Structure 1
Amino acid sequence: MFRVEEPINKAADRMLKTVQLGIFNSIIVNRLWTPLQQIKFFIPTGHGTLLGTWRRLAVCWFAVCGFIHGIIEGWFSLYYDIIPGDQSFLSQLWKEYSKGDSRYVIADNFTVCMETVTAWLWGPFSFWAVFAFLTNKPYRFVLQLIISLGQLYGAVLYFFTEHRDGYAHSEFGHPVYFWFYFVFMNVLWIVIPLVLILMLGDSY
């Protein structure tokens, strides 16, 4: 629901933080994607050809996941109890995101457990997958399956638990806090892992 009564300066501040969050994520993707674009020049595959486009995209995805899981979500798993009063950058990032899901500032049990598993399991596994693809390890597709299944399972539980609570922790229908923060930023971990699982049959 729109809050038409909020002061203009408060609305402007919220819009500024939203833009900053988008720019921050764009910089992360760009900084990781640019060097990964160069992989095709020196990393051969097991079939004697250069690393293909889809495989480079998968490597980029796992690199981004490793950063998000290991650093951003890792911060939450360690400092979830002090985030509401902390002024550090990552705590501010989580407080901004909590406008779409307040479970992140009330130390909700499921959220803490889910993010801890994600940070300390799927984070390192994602970086391991990057290494496995770049060095053409035979187990790289096994890692892809394990990580994708874990991400898919966690994202489904994330949405379903909030649905069972009647979206009590989010501003249901809000274009930014609900549809962008809560839905879009998390549905990626359903769509992309599902695509990666389905693509395993083709060995892209």
Structure 2
Amino acid sequence: MTSSNGLPPDLFDQTTLLSLASTVAIVLVGVLLGRAVLPASTPTSKRFLFIWHATDAICHTVLEGSFLYHCFFSSVPLSSVPADVAATYFPTPHNFLGTGDERVFGSQVGDSPFAALWRVYARADKRWAGVDLGVVSLELLTVVVDTALALTVCYCLSKKNPMANVWMIVLATCELYGGFMTFCPEWLVGSINLDTSNFMYKWLYLVFFNMVWVVVPLYALVHAVGEISGAFKAQAAKSKRR
């Protein structure tokens, strides 16, 4: 269903606006943490990287953690769903969690505000309404491993520990690999689950929200490699003077 101008009527509904506001709130928390933890003399580049990794950790824990929660704990018996409604659901893989074909899982049947948030994003990528095994597998690693790495980077930056650069490289590599593996399988089947019919779905949900996790990790990677290379050069110059 679309409005008279060809756009979905729920493009800017209350749920959408609250969902977008939640992402802004997460960024603001990252900024406030940076102000609270880092000394005023912290270089802009390191302050930005701290804020990014703090935001990254919160996003992985709160948002993507809620996605996993609904994948595992939100379900309804398929027999209780009318056939016309069941046809609109993203199909749950056969025998997911050993349930055979008896239940349907995911945010599509959840009743929390986070489930509603993921249903908003799922308007652009249907996989996030239900259970896509590739996405769920990647998110398990993201929520557990990437969150731990992001928190480690923040801790090292706050302590001026140069090991922050090593962990930034590891995390950036994980983020870039995860982004590729999220979308490559979809591209190979013709993007059948993606909706790019309007600017909001295409440029905000699919491009912006995903490219952020490409551009910033690339910057972190370049920054960290530069810092480590600079340290090696300084060590080599010091050795020559001896």
TM-score by length of 1: 0.85
- Please list, as runs of the form range in 1=range in 2, the aligned pairs for 1:1-204 lying within 5 A after superposition: 3-4=2-3, 11=9, 13-16=10-13, 17-38=15-36, 39-41=38-40, 50-81=41-72, 82=74, 83-203=107-227
Shift of 1:91: 1.2
Structure of higher RCO (CA pairs closer than 8 Å, 6+ residues apart): 1
Q: Please give the alpha-carbon distance, in whole angstroms, between the structure 1 residues aligned to 2:63 and 2:130.
A: 18
SS in 2 for 1:3: coil
SS in 1 for 2:39: helix
SS in 2 for 1:136: coil
Deviates more, 1:56-65 or 1:81-90: 81-90
Are the aligned partners of 1:173 and 1:179 in contact in 2 as well (CA < 8 Å)?
no
Are the aligned partners of 2:30 and 2:52 in contact in 1 as well (CA < 8 Å)?
no
Unmatched segments (≥5 aa) in structure 1? 42-49
Q: Please give the alpha-carbon distance, in whole angstroms, between the structure 1 residues aligned to 2:26 and 2:144.
A: 20
User: Which protein shows a greater Rg?
Assistant: 2
Q: Please give the alpha-carbon distance, in whole angstroms, between the structure 2 residues aligned to 1:182 and 1:7.
A: 19
SS in 1 for 2:57: helix
Q: Between Structure 1 and Structure 2, how many residues are aligned?
A: 193
Are the aligned partners of 2:26 and 2:59 in contact in 1 as well (CA < 8 Å)?
no
1:128-175 per-residue CA deviation (whole Å, 9 max, x = no partner) reads: 211111012232111100000000111122222221121111113421
Shift of 1:107: 0.5
Shift of 1:52: 0.6
Query: How well do the aligned residues superpose, as a CA RMSD in angstroms?
Result: 2.3
The equivalent residue for 2:82 is none
Q: Please give the alpha-carbon distance, in whole angstroms, between the structure 1 residues aligned to 2:63 and 2:137.
A: 15
1:84-124 per-residue CA deviation (whole Å, 9 max, x = no partner) reads: 21111111111111111111123111111111111111012
Q: Please give the alpha-carbon distance, in whole angstroms, between the structure 2 residues aligned to 1:189 and 1:78.
A: 22
Q: Please give the alpha-carbon distance, in whole angstroms, between the structure 1 residues aligned to 2:43 and 2:128.
A: 38
Q: Please give the alpha-carbon distance, in whole angstroms, between the structure 2 residues aligned to 1:125 and 1:86.
A: 29
Q: Please give the alpha-carbon distance, in whole angstroms, between the structure 2 residues aligned to 1:62 and 1:163.
A: 28
Deviates more, 1:27-36 or 1:94-103: 27-36
Shift of 1:51: 1.7
Among the aligned pairs, what percent are the same residue?
21
Unmatched segments (≥5 aa) in structure 2? 75-106, 231-242
SS in 2 for 1:176: helix
TM-score by length of 2: 0.73
Q: Please give the alpha-carbon distance, in whole angstroms, between the structure 1 residues aligned to 2:21 and 2:70.
A: 24
| 1:27–1:78 distance in 2 versus 1, CA, 3 Å | closer
Are the aligned partners of 2:179 and 2:214 in contact in 1 as well (CA < 8 Å)?
yes
